Structures are given as C-alpha cells and as structure tokens.
Amino acid sequence: MEQFVIKGGKPLHGEVAIGGAKNAALAILAAAVMTDDTVTIENLPDVRDVNVMLGAIEGIGGRVKRPDPHTVIINGSAIESLNVDYEYIKKIRASYYLLGALLGKYKKAEVALPGGCAIGSRPIDLHLKGFRALGADVDVSYGLISAEADRLTGAHIYLDKVSVGATINILMAATLAEGRTVIENAAKEPHVVDVANFLNSMGADIRGAGTDVIRITGVTRLHGTEYSVIPDQIEAGTFMFAAAATHGDVLVKNVIPKHLEATTVKLLETGCEIVEFDDAVRVIATNTVLRPTSVTTLPYPGFPTDMQPQMTAVLGLADGVSTVTESIFENRFKYVDELARMGANIKTESNIAIITGVQGYTGARVSAPDLRAGAALVIAGLAADGFTTVDDIHYIQRGYENFEVKLQGLGADIEKTSDEREAQKFRLRVS
C-alpha cells in the first residue's frame, strides 16, 4: 500500500501550477457522450476519479482517446449499453452523472446506486425528483436506479436543498428535453457554470448558470466541441492552506482568483498576506502568527465544504480558539482523531469543531479517511515537527494530481513510498 512519508517543519516556497477542476471534469466527461460527434476536452486533471469515469464511458461503449494525460477525445456515437456498471459507480459517486446524460440522449438509463467518499448520508432524492419532473419513470430497486421516458418535457423544478450533483444531472437531462426547464435554488458553484458553458458550446441553450435560477430551453441535438476545463479551486485552496500552515510564501498559478474568494478571506482573517494577480494568488505567511477565526461551510459563494479539513489543519496552529461549522455533510470530521494524534486540540460537538490552537504539531502515523481530510493530514505533516506517515493515500490520489511532486517543487520533504524499506531510505536521506 502506498503512503506519503513527510519530514515536516520546512516552510513552503516557490510556485505551483493548478490543474483542471476534478468535479467539473467528471460532469463534463459524462456530458460529452450526449452528442454523436467527437468532443475534445483539455486541461483534464490526471487523477484517479477522472480515470474511473473514462473507464465507465468505455464500459458503455464510448470511444476514448488520450493523446496526452491532460487531453481526452471522446465519441459517444457507438454507445451500446445504457447500464453503468456497479464496478465504476462504487468507486466514484460522480458516475451518476451518466444517468442525466444518457437519460437526456437516449431517454433511458440504468445506474447502480452510488458510493463515493463516506462524508455523510448523501441522498440522491433531488436528482430523482428532477428526472421525474421532466417526465421520466424512475425506479430504485435491486441496487439500481432506472430512469426511462417516452419523451422528456421541460418543467419547473425547485431544489429543496442546494445540490451541485442534482443541479448538474437535471441540467444535462433538460438540455435534450422538449421545451423549457427552470431549476430554482440551483447550485452556483464554478463547476456548475463550467458544465453549462460546456453544454452551450455543444449547442445547448442554458442561461443563468452561476445564479440560483437556471433556465434551459431544450434542443434536439448537440454537436461536437473543443473545451478546456476550469482550474481546480479546491486544489488551489489546498496549496494556499499548506503555505499558511508552514509559514511559507507560495505563488499559486493558473487559478481564477474570484473562485477562491472565501478561502482568501479566511486566510486574511488568520493574518496571512494575500496578493492577487489575474490568474494567480500569492500567499505570504513567512512571519505570520496565525490568528484564530470561525468559519461555516456553505454552498458557493460560501466557504466550501471541500476546504473544511484543510482550514481546520491551519486553525489547529492558530493562537487561540477557533470554530469550524460543517453545514453540508454531517460526517466530515472523521480526520479530527487523526489530527489529535499529531497533537491537535480539537473537540467536536455534532457539526461544530472547537479548535484550541497548539504551538505545533508532532509527526505521527495517520490514515486518510477521505480525499480532503487526507490533504489536511498532509498539510499538518508538512507543518509538524518530525516524520509523519499518511496511509490510505489512494483517497488523496482521487483528486490531487502528483500531489507529492508539486509539494516537492515547493521545497517540501515528502515522498510517496510503497513499503517500509523505501520509507526508511527516505527518512535517512532527509534526516
């Protein structure tokens, strides 16, 4: 089993380039099969979840070419199965986007009930409510979701809760429905906008993405396109927090600073200096005494739940008491016990973490419970005194491309190792 071994205590310095947004890419890949023409997608992050999604597309008969790790050419004209295998869906929740895509295109789809990161109960009732409103018969039985319609017709759909997944799934199906669909209380995340832009570049008629009312006028067919995925705001934010925790000075390049506003504001509150450029953000924390603050996760433009563990890792080192309230997923504090093994002082009461800052973390052997929590443990390890080993890094590899290589580029002593002998070699080398 691979693990990260980290010798902490070195401030991060230098520049890091951010890749394409994983959560935008996953939906865009599913949407790419909605045309029989060829689609080229660039700035694709070469991460595990994306590769699983491409496997799922090939699994139903889509043709996939990968001229380089960050470009994919997809053709969905030869799709022969409308049944997405459990093999894929158990690995990535986002393969349920194929439900919206296939239902829109073929008016029929079957997908196993999703798995994904265990961060909460994660129901899909709103996705199904949307499909039903568009006229589909939806049945959930024997572990399968089946959706089928003679014809899909536009509808007025109110989402009882802001959901990225439901917004995107309904958006895809409605694109090829007859007439006009309105999604109210839609998610406004940058990746929702990116998926809408992608579909529009294929001939869809979607307006209002990025606001809480999205209006879709159905079209009869979509055509091929070439599209570049937006930068990953969560990868960017993770490096920003790593700079803060290690008292470093890092230029995070290839970002859209507007997408990072909530993260930037919270880092300013902790006392870091932030310099914004057109497509880069510099975090300067060299002489910063980290200050405590409070944060609540909220749908965009609020503070992202996907940045919550990384923020907690930083606040654990602040000079005072902070609170972090998780309002999206009820089970996203599983990493707190692992941080405590590194010396953090955090108490959780239902969805609130009360963090009393400590002088410093101490290296320990810890386990990544999920993707973003794993990134937070790496951040803590980079800031800690001594050696940290992070196990179960397959979670981290779901969403971060070459994480250790990018951190090495910023001067971090971190190595991906596959056994104790390699880990020991690394420890001797950096001791």
Q: Is 272 a catalytic residue?
A: no
Binding mask 188-217 for ligand EPZ (x = CB under 6 A): ------------------------------
Residue 67 CB, shortest distance to ligand EPZ, in Å, is: 25
In angstroms, rounded to a whole number, what is the distance separating the alpha carbons of residues 397 and 385?
25
Relative to beta strand 294-296, strand 321-325 is parallel
Q: Out of 16, 84, 99, 117, which one is annotated catalytic?
A: 117
Closest CA to 373 of 292, 312, 296, 323: 312
Residue 94 CB, shortest distance to ligand EPZ, in Å, is: 4
Residue 235 CB, shortest distance to ligand EPZ, in Å, is: 10
Subset of 334-363 contacting ligand EPZ (CB under 6 A): none
Subset of 8-27 contacting ligand EPZ (CB under 6 A): 23, 26
Closest CA to 305 of 378, 371, 354: 371
Residue 301 CB, shortest distance to ligand EPZ, in Å, is: 12
Tell me which stretch binds ligand EPZ (CB under 6 A): 120-128, 353-361, 376-384, 389-397.
Answer: 120-128
Q: Which of 88, 131, 239, 329 is in the footprint of ligand EPZ by CB under 6 A?
A: 329
Tell me which stretch binds ligand EPZ (CB under 6 A): 132-140, 158-166, 221-229, 386-394.
Answer: 158-166
Tell me which stretch binds ligand EPZ (CB under 6 A): 9-17, 117-125, 203-211, 218-226.
Answer: 117-125
Q: Name the β-bridge partners of 231.
A: 20
Please report, as a single letter, which amino acid is at residue 353.
A
Subset of 122-141 contacting ligand EPZ (CB under 6 A): 122-127
**377 scored as a contact of ligand EPZ (CB under 6 A):** no
How buried is residue 258: exposed, middle or buried, by Cβ count under 10 Å (0-12/13-18/19+)?
exposed
In angstroms, rounded to a whole number, what is the distance separating the alpha carbons of residues 361 and 353?
18
Residue 262 CB, shortest distance to ligand EPZ, in Å, is: 12
Subset of 251-290 contacting ligand EPZ (CB under 6 A): none
Q: Which of 105, 188, 247, 372 is in the footprint of ligand EPZ by CB under 6 A?
A: 372
Residue 206 CB, shortest distance to ligand EPZ, in Å, is: 18
Q: Which of 60, 94, 236, 262 is in the footprint of ligand EPZ by CB under 6 A?
A: 94
Please report, as a single letter, which amino acid is at residue 361.
Y
Q: Which of 34, 82, 117, 393 is in the footprint of ligand EPZ by CB under 6 A?
A: 117
Point out the residues that are catalytic. Answer: 117
Q: Provide the binding-site residues for ligand EPZ, judged by CB under 6 A.
A: 23, 26, 93-94, 117, 120, 122-127, 161, 163-166, 187, 305-306, 328-329, 371-372, 399
